Structure 1
């Protein structure tokens, strides 16, 4: 289940989970524990986040967890936990986030039963820099594929690319496998639109 972005009055699925970075950088912040929390194979991260771009800024609107009835039955419901994670209203503007938001649009062209690996008819990329939307690009399936190849070529010239290769190496991942991983997820790793 993808997170949701509200942008220009429309609701989109996101092919990135912006709160992953928040939880990584803030290990003391956790989803609330509950004896009725439901973890689904469709939602391993345990939450569904809703974001919004408003006046060009990136905000978190809600974080929900799926809870059961505590009796082991199939009854479940969504419970908002945003106030447990973001206690102050001002902290809901995500100035700490820089990266690319991937918004697939249209029909599925090629279904892959693995995370965000399916291919769609169209894509929108939004570049967020310290919580502000600074660029927007639109692609067809073919255009997005070409963009990712050019993006990877440009990303290989950056210090961040070399840092990632070293990080994978420290984790025991071969250079060949690390390069393949970065190539496949270049939009996630590169954080900025590097090519026209």
Structure 2
């Protein structure tokens, strides 16, 4: 939604009325649906205090943001959605990181589904590692590395950058139709 809010800052007023917390740092929850080969925004919920009993309740403000009455196609969004699926296959208590049985990656361009890729959990781990190696060849990596170098020793930088940057890099870049290094994967177009 950040790209939309940047293009239409006045529409963010409805969201600003919501309660923010560490559990809801953006101030809203979006409910999305992929239907008919498009990414649709179905709800924008903010947390507000109930007027009579003071409890926190969710309030849908999508009609204040999009008053036409028609749920919008997210034409402002281009990127790759990463959807964990199935039960947790492995959980690292130290890193607080879960590996799910399967993952679905859906490439969106201007709100339209371009491609869907399904892969097993271990294949996703390999895929993320390959994406990090690609990220390391970018200017963004070099800048992040130099910034991290100011506060930590060199051998700790890559693990920190992997944890903090790889998923952002992954969501902004197009997944391959069938990754050569990720093991069992299925690809299909959703056009």
Tell me if TM exceeds 0.5. yes
Counterparts of 1:118 and 1:87 in 2: how far apart (Å)? 39
Partner of 2:129: 149
After superposition, where does 1:94-133 map in structure 2 within 5 Å?
94-108=74-88, 109-110=90-91, 117-133=97-113
**SS of residue matched to 1:97:** coil
Counterpart among 27, 43, 54 of residue 24 in structure 2: 43
Q: Unaligned 5+ residue runs, structure 1?
A: 1-18
**SS of residue matched to 2:84:** strand
- Please identify the structure whose Cα radius of gyration is greater: 2
Q: Unaligned 5+ residue runs, structure 2?
A: 180-191
Counterparts of 1:102 and 1:69 in 2: how far apart (Å)? 34
Counterparts of 2:140 and 2:8 in 1: how far apart (Å)? 22
Is 1:23 the counterpart of 2:31? The answer is no
Is 1:183 the counterpart of 2:162? The answer is yes
TM-aligned CA distance change 1:112 to 1:134, over 3 Å: farther
For residue 155 of structure 1, report the CA deviation from its aligned partner: 3.8
Partner of 2:66: 86
Counterpart among 35, 38, 45 of residue 57 in structure 1: 38
- TM-score (normalizing by structure 1): 0.68
- TM-score (normalizing by structure 2): 0.70
Give yes or no for contact 1:98–1:129 (8 Å, CA) kept in 2.
Answer: yes
1:109-129 per-residue CA deviation (whole Å, 9 max, x = no partner) reads 316699x94332221111112
Is 1:162 the counterpart of 2:139? The answer is yes
**SS of residue matched to 2:125:** helix
> For the aligned residues, what is the CA RMSD?
3.3
1:66-101 per-residue CA deviation (whole Å, 9 max, x = no partner) reads 11124784x222111112223345681112211111
Counterparts of 1:70 and 1:174 in 2: how far apart (Å)? 50
